[in-house]
Amino acid sequence: MRIKLAYGKTGLPIELDDSLNVTVVEPSFVPALADPEAAVRDALRAPIGSPPLRDLVRPGMRVGVIFSDITRPAPNPLMLGAVLEVLDAVPGIEVVLFNALGTHRPNTEAELRGMAGDAIFERRRIVQNDTFDPATQVWVGVTSKGHETWLNAELMRCDLKILTGFIEPHLFAGFSGGGKAIMPGMAGQRTVLGNHDAGMVGHPKAIWGVTEGNPIWEEVREVAGQAGRLFLLNVTLNRDKAVTGVFAGDLDQAHAAGCAFVKRSAMVAVEGPFDIVVTTNSGYPLDINLYQSVKGMRAADQIVKPGGAILIATSCWDGLPEHGLYGQILRESKSPRELLARICAPGFLEQDQWQAHIQALILLKADVYVRSDGLTDDEIRSALLIPCCRIEDTVVELVGKYGRGASICVMPEGPQTIPYVSAS
């Protein structure tokens, strides 16, 4: 059986013996829209639960347009181009573009050019959010969860905030897109740390595909509401990163429609858990580093047996990465149990602990093997994971461990799929 895994920019073909007990789980393929440019323009003219974008702006306004950073495959030139077309038709509007970095590193000039397109990069002012600099932030209030809201001060000076992005399943926020452009995208570190603390991340409803009752998503929505007047433009993508749907307008209504659309194609039921799950982090740019690749592990974790094994193929061309504290938190712990105890200890609150928290939970359930061209074996081991040179060889070894009839699942698209055991 030959299967192509989403890996980097080129993919990674693997060949598994036909005699093995293999099940392939992937989202239903949704064909690309015939004319995505026209679809985006139509959505801006006839949005969901909102007047057209053109009717929301007037001369003299300051408009902030938020777009995703390098870790997301959002079609920024398409969305930004359509939005700017509308805004440029109104005289006297000041437009600022905001790169929603969250707690990620700043993007380079070359990355910004590639993400936005040369024409937009050269003609527009782009502000990259600096979550670590309180001087760039303004206090907005306190959420119902008791966390302070600090947002980018320049964004808050805008009369209208346009949130662009794309919707996919998210490992603890339910779905991406929507208010996540504001929080964590344009938030201060204090706000992100509160939203991502151990109690929030450890909540049973902080999981793929769940928004209602999910404390992380509910606070994301609340923080977005504190930001003032908003307009949403989100798209959905298929495995080829082509646009399959456009959802614009009211933050809640448009995002809910997009989430429902994604859920229909991404949620896949299986009859029971597997001994071995082979997964990915959905290829470039999502498999930029190991930190992001915890998403692929988490997707596999939904359907692996306790004591089973997860194999993840992820490019990690940006390493662990070395910026942030994710790698350091892992290196300072000798075992997953020690790691979890440290993160859940009263008063512990560190940058990137949320991803290490989820990784610890996964490792307490299953062994995780990593196949990556961007990481050394020592780096993989320092992250409490097991190096894998070749997926096929590791599968053979594990079949020897679990028995010839071992059940194997392959998730070529990784976290683009929300797998679940049907009995649950």
Residue ranges per structural domain of the chain? 2-28+271-421, 36-265
| Number of Cβ atoms within 10 Å of the Cβ of 42 | 14
pLDDT of residue 239: 87
List the beta bridge partners of residue 311: 278, 369
Place of tokens 């408009």: 63
pLDDT (average), residues 48-60: 97
Class of domain 2-28+271-421: alpha beta
Interatomic CA distance for residues 198 and 110, integer angstroms: 36
More confident position, 13 or 29: 13
**pLDDT of 293:** 97
Question: What span, in angstroms and rounded, lies between the C-alpha atoms of 163 and 225?
Answer: 12
Q: What is the pLDDT of residues 385-403, one digit of tens each?
A: 999 999 999 999 999 999 9
Q: Taking residues 85-99, report their average pLDDT.
A: 97
By C-alpha distance, which of 420, 23, 28, 360 is closest to 208? Answer: 420
Closest CA to 278 of 305, 316, 310, 315: 310
The answer to whether residues 84 and 64 touch, using CB atoms and an 8 Å cutoff, is no
CATH for the stretch 36-265: 3.40.50.11440
Mean pLDDT, residues 148-161:
98
Residue 184 has pLDDT above 80, yes or no: yes
- Residues whose CB falls within 8 Å of the CB of residue 405, separated by 6 or more in sequence, listed in order: 21
Averaged pLDDT, 21-34:
95
The string of pLDDT tens digits covering residues 311-334 is: 999 999 999 998 779 999 999 999
Query: Could you tell me the pTM of the whole model?
Result: 0.89
Q: The tokens 């590639």 sit on which residue?
A: 114
**In the 8-state DSSP scheme, what is residue 180?**
G
Q: Write the CA distances from 88 to 46, 82, 228, 239, 381, integer angstroms.
A: 18, 10, 22, 33, 52
Mean pLDDT of 195-223: 96
Distances (CA, A) of 322 to 104, 185, 282, 402: 11, 20, 22, 36
**Per-residue confidence (pLDDT) for residue 423, from 0 to 100:** 67
Residues shown for the chain = 424
> Is residue 424 predicted with pLDDT exceeding 80?
no
Report, as an integer, the average pLDDT of 210-215.
96
